[in-house]
Each structure stands twice: as structure tokens, then as C-alpha cells.
Structure 1
């Protein structure tokens, strides 16, 4: 069974431009698609991508908005400037020249005090950062906290560090898009959480060897309670009670509706409170999650190392794609060169035929056969005697 290809969507910038051209707010567009405004905000920023029926409805709506915008776009009209007429200038009257004043000798005239006026100090112009400097600043600001938050999702230190590094490498590859995002930290956080909670992580050899648990018994119990939650409930609990996002933002980042997100949050809190009754209060749970994340000494790699690692992975993927393309072209050429040009019917397999006597191999003649052969040789080979039979 094959899957149908996903409905194509315009880039995130084009989605936002189409919505603004149609004079629609994010709330109005979300009502027409059937999602929350936070989900529409995540779609337009590129942090998440719609899937399934929501993707088809969103693509159909954008197509309709594009067609309406093309019909509604007015033709540019030439701007008429009023003609400028020369105004008559008043004639300059000659001014009388001032008479020179003769000062008496020997008496110096007092000069007016000339104090320098303070000059306004120009504000320093903002220094434009290079893409590498802006990326390093974002990484230094958010990477340590993201590593601690991801540790609450996985319970593994190396996996949390690797997930954040992969997320920042993806952000560096799409840096023009991430730099213009309203919440670049949220873009990286969503990518890191998706990588950390991927089911493929269970197939890695490192996942078979457990890491040492936290030293504090309370932290160890809380971490075990978190890891027993389903991945969706765990992610919702960490975003709402750990990171501090509100309910619509949590729903947008987890690609779920607000009621579904609220239901997951309540179930996650009930599960944690069932194992740790002291954490039934959301404020206490928030404080304990912050303490658990801060107690782990998790260090992130340096920004240049992450950037170089992302560039190296991009080069490897490019080379692998080129090698695969070359191999595919060579295989196709070989197939075209060696393929038959006409149809050759296959040879049917042989079948055994019954009822035919076996062919006897030649051998020595019997006495009767020798006598008959001698008789035939003694008779005349031609003549009328051979035409008329003779009685013996």
C-alpha cells in the first residue's frame, strides 16, 4: 500500500503574506481551518508543519486566498503631480551701505563673551551582527537551559545534549528563516524535543545501557515518575509547568488543540501526584522541576563547534546525495545498454512421449540377416528379370 504525496504548501513567509493580503487575523484563519491561533502562528513561522486533513484544509484555504488576491489586486495608476508654476519673486531693493564707525584711539572696545555652545552627542549606531555572531549569541543564551529541559524528557544526559546540538545545527542550516522568527528559541526547542522523543532513539545501542540516576532520592523518584508518562503527556507537562508556557503556546508547539492539551496536562499532573502526593500543587511541581533540572551539571558544546558540526553534516549529506544520483544514473544507463530490443519467446521445456518403441543401437547381424543380405547381393541389380516375378 502506497501513501499519497503530501499536499504542497507555500513557504512560511508566503503563508503569512497571503493571510495579511486577505486582511485576516490569525484567529480568523484558525477558525476557518479548525485549529488554534497558536498553531497558525507556528505554521507561519515554520516551527511546525501541518499534517493530514489539517494540511489539506490549510493548503486549500491558502490557494483560495491567492486566487482572490490575484483577482482583487488593482492595477497601479499613474500618480498625477500638480504642475509647478514659478512664483514671482519680489524685487530686491538696494540696501544702503552702513557708514564706517570711527573709534577713538587708545580705548579698547569690550568684546562680547563668546562661549562655545554644547554640541548634541549623536547616539551610537547599532552594530550589525554577522550571522555567525547572531547564532553564537542565541546559542549562548538558550542552549544551557534547553539541555536541562530536554533532560527532563529523556532522563539521559548525552541524549539531551545531542538533541540540542542537532536542533541548533538545523537552525544554522535554516538561519535566514530562524533569524526572522518571532521566537527563535521556541523554534529550536520544538526541534530538539522532536529529536529527543523520536521512536528511533530506542534502536540505538547507547539506549540499551542505562545512565546513572540522580544522586538525590527525591530527584530520582520525580525523574522516574516523569519517564513513566506517555511522551505527549510528558512534553506537555514540561512545557507548561517546567518552561512556563501558557496553554495556547503549549498547544501550538505540540500541534494539538487547546482542549486536548489541557486534558493531557491534567492527566500528567494526576499521574505525578499519584506517585508523589506532595507535588499535587502546580506551584510546588514547577519548583521541583526547576530544581531537578538545575541539579544536573549539564554543559553544552561551544557555538563554533556546533556550527562546524552542522556544516560537516550538510557536506556529508550533499556528497551522499550526489553519489546516490550518480549510482542511479549509472544503473539506468547500464540497464538501457543491456536490455533486449525485441521479444524472445522462452523455450518450452521438453516432455516425455510414450508409445514409441525405443531405438535399437546398431550391432552384429544375425545369421538370417546375413543370409538375406547375401541373397540380395547375388541377384541381378538390373534387367527385365527384376520386373516380372518368378515362381520358385
Structure 2
């Protein structure tokens, strides 16, 4: 978690006083990074520019996302996924005013996604930090709502100002102030030693630094991003072809005119049931024998003749 030269200056007009503990919101002096000359930017290839951004931001982002999630593997996956998307949209990211902030916001979104709870391996907790105080701080952070946790990490961990924190969390400055105040109050209630914002900042830095969190190499991230992009492109093409084929088959086999449905059968009443013929009587048998013996009169019967 980088530090940007923190010098606490109380601002009582913008900071509410939470109940239970005296919490002061402080503004921090932010050092503006020196911009690279245009010729230095144009001299870098896209691969080199991406690798430089990754080498500069990825280690700190992994530590920050670990504070958000409490999971080492999820923190690494979230940062790598954010950089993979950044590589797919590199022209847009390269022209952005703050590429590091662009990737950081996306990494936070990936880390705090509610879909992770459906993954089987994320249903079991990871080993907690070895230090007892670090475990208590991590448990306290994980009990905070995701928006409060993100605001606290950005302001007290990363060292952003309130306007930048509000913009990155997509909230108003007043909402960011309220979230920060309630988050500090919750931390101070469980850990009174961290009621001072400066102490809280350094404890967050130490908690993120004690874990051995490593990010993958930039070429591997770029290759994974390109492989994922090819996979989804082929999947989209296959889905489109299947949809076109299903549509063509439907048009081919669909009826061209309306066919009314066959009405259901109705029971006809008043018709006597058919009676099966019984055995012939003696007189009927004699008549049948007589008819068979007599010659046929009139035209001959038409009998089928074999070819």
C-alpha cells in the first residue's frame, strides 16, 4: 500500500463526529507525479508501456485487494483480471488521465464481486495472519460493508483525498465522508488502539506487507488476456453461427399457412350398437348350399387374371 506523504490536518467542518469515539477525518497532501515527456511516451511500445504500468502498480494492488477480501489467491486473481481487461482495452487505458486509477478501480470491482461466494474453493476460509492483532484487524475489516471497506482502504490505506475517493467509489463526497466516519468508528470500537487515523494507516500498511503476496509476470498476464479474448471471440462466433442455423431451420420447417386444429371427437347418441352375427340356422345353411350349387346367370363375374 503506497504512502503519499501523509500530514494530518483536522477538517472539522467536513468531518462528522461519530458516537462512542472521537474520530477526525483528515486531508492529506498529495504529491503530483511528474509526467513523462511526450517523446518518452511515444518511444515505448504498447507491450513496454503495459509492462511498466504493471510493474509499478501490480504489487501494491495485490496488497490492497488482500485488505478488501482477506484472501491471497483472490487478490492475485483480481489484479491479474483487471490488467488483462486493461490490455484488451489498452488504447483507451493508455490515453486515460490516470491509468493506475483505472486499473485499481477495476481490480477493486473484481475483488468485491458477490459472485465469488458461489465458487467452491472460496466457501472455506483461508489461514488468518499469524499475528493476533493483525487477525483482529482483518476480521474487523471483513465485517464492514464492501463500500465502507473500500472507502477506508482508499483513504486510510492508499492515501487518496476525499474527492478522489468519492469519485472512485462512485459516490458523493458527503457519502464518502459518512462511509469513512462509520468505518473508522467500527474499527475503533473493536480496536481502540486504532482510533487515530495515522495509526490506522500504518497498521493497514503493516498488515498488507506481512503477507507474501506476489503477482504474475507481465508477459504471462498479457498472454492470458489474449488467450481469454480469443476464447470469448470464438465462443461469440460459434453462438452466432448456431443462432443463424437455428433461425434458418425454423424458417425452413415452419408452416406457410394456417392450419386449424382438428376438433375433438363427439359422442353420437341414438345409434344402436353393432350386433355380431350368430351361427347360421339349418334352413340358412340349406339355402347357402343351394345357392352355391346353382350356376350363375347373367354376365360372368370379373375375376382378376394373372399376367
Shorter-chain TM band: 0.7 to 0.9
Distance 2:130 2:284 in 1: 114
Structure 1 residue 370 displacement after superposition: 5.2
**Of the two structures, which has the highest relative contact order with CA contacts closer than 8 Å and spacing of 6 or more?**
2
Structure 1 residue 350 displacement after superposition: 1.9
Cα deviation, 1:261-280, whole Å, max 9, x if unaligned, reads 11111111111111101111
Deviates more, 1:342-351 or 1:158-167: 342-351
Distance 2:184 2:266 in 1: 78
> Which of residues 311, 314, 331 in structure 1 aligns to 2:226?
311
Larger radius of gyration, structure 1 or 2? 1
> Which of residues 150, 166, 173 in structure 2 aligns to 1:251?
166
Structure 1 residue 346 displacement after superposition: 1.7
Distance 1:351 1:213 in 2: 76
Residue 191 (structure 1) aligned with residue 106 (structure 2): yes
Partner of 2:274: 359
Partner of 2:250: 335
> Which of residues 115, 124, 131 in structure 2 aligns to 1:200?
115
Q: Runs of 4+ in structure 1 displaced over 4 angstroms?
A: none
> Which of residues 155, 170, 179 in structure 2 aligns to 1:240?
155
Partner of 2:193: 278
Q: Secondary structure of the equivalent of 2:43?
A: coil
Partner of 2:67: 152
Structure 1 residue 303 displacement after superposition: 0.4
Q: Secondary structure of the equivalent of 2:170?
A: coil
Unaligned runs of 5+ in 1: 1-124, 378-392
Structure 1 residue 176 displacement after superposition: 1.0
> Which of residues 106, 130, 134 in structure 2 aligns to 1:215?
130
> Which of residues 234, 245, 264 in structure 2 aligns to 1:349?
264
Cα deviation, 1:83-105, whole Å, max 9, x if unaligned, reads xxxxxxxxxxxxxxxxxxxxxxx
Distance 2:124 2:231 in 1: 29
Residue 289 (structure 1) aligned with residue 212 (structure 2): no
Distance 1:282 1:194 in 2: 25
Equivalent runs, 1:44-55 vs 2, <5 Å: none
Cα deviation, 1:153-209, whole Å, max 9, x if unaligned, reads 000000000000000011111111111111111000000000110111111111112
Distance 2:174 2:271 in 1: 87
Q: Secondary structure of the equivalent of 1:297?
A: coil
Cα deviation, 1:356-391, whole Å, max 9, x if unaligned, reads 321112223568x959x99xx9xxxxxxxxxxxxxx
Q: Secondary structure of the equivalent of 1:190?
A: helix
Distance 2:255 2:180 in 1: 64
Q: Secondary structure of the equivalent of 1:210?
A: coil
Q: Number of aligned pairs?
A: 249
Q: TM-score, normalised by structure 2?
A: 0.78
Distance 1:240 1:354 in 2: 89
Deviates more, 1:318-327 or 1:343-352: 343-352
Partner of 1:142: 57
Deviates more, 1:339-348 or 1:296-305: 339-348
Distance 2:284 2:76 in 1: 105
Distance 1:370 1:193 in 2: 103
